[in-house]
């Protein structure tokens, strides 16, 4: 009885191994490498960039306004700084699909 049970378990395990093998090969073709790299490295770095941009938004726009004010009376300075320091990193971190557009363009 013990030998028959052992043979049955070995047969079931081999059958499961054979059944799983093509699925594992198919999973590699999908390309989860870029998604893992994106989720573990690029998204956290993008979050840090977003936090730093939020911290420096007001001082950068005030300094930029003070330096440009005598030469140009452009009132869109704050919007330009907000787009560059906060909106672009936020879109990169939160709106971009996982694993796509890894260059940030």
Token pair 């378990």: residue: 9
What is the percent of the chain with per-residue pLDDT over 90, rounded to a whole number? 5
pLDDT > 80? residue 16? no
Which of 6-10, 23-27, 50-54, 97-101 has the least mean pLDDT? 23-27
Tell me what pLDDT residue 7 has: 80
**Structural domain for 52, as ranges:** 31-105
Identify whether residues 65 and 25 lie together within a single domain.
Answer: no
Identify whether residues 53 and 87 lie together within a single domain.
Answer: yes
pLDDT > 80? residue 53? yes
Identify whether residues 9 and 50 lie together within a single domain.
Answer: no
Query: What does pTM read for this prediction?
Result: 0.59
Identify whether residues 21 and 38 lie together within a single domain.
Answer: no
- CA angle at 37 for the pair 31 and 32, rounded to the nearest 5°: 15
Look at the chain and report how many structural domains it folds into. Answer: 2
Identify whether residues 4 and 45 lie together within a single domain.
Answer: no
Identify whether residues 22 and 42 lie together within a single domain.
Answer: no
């Amino acid at each position: 009885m013990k030998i028959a049970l052992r043979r049955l378990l070995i047969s079931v395990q081999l059958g499961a191994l054979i059944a799983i093998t093509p699925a594992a090969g198919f999973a590699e073709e999908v390309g989860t490498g870029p998604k893992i790299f994106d989720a573990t490295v690029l998204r956290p770095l993008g979050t840090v960039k977003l936090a730093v941009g939020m911290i420096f938004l007001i001082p950068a726009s005030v300094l930029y306004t003070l330096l440009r004010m005598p030469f140009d009376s452009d009132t869109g300075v704050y919007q330009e700084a907000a787009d560059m320091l906060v909106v672009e990193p936020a879109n990169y971190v939160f709106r971009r699909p996982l694993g796509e557009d890894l260059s940030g363009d």
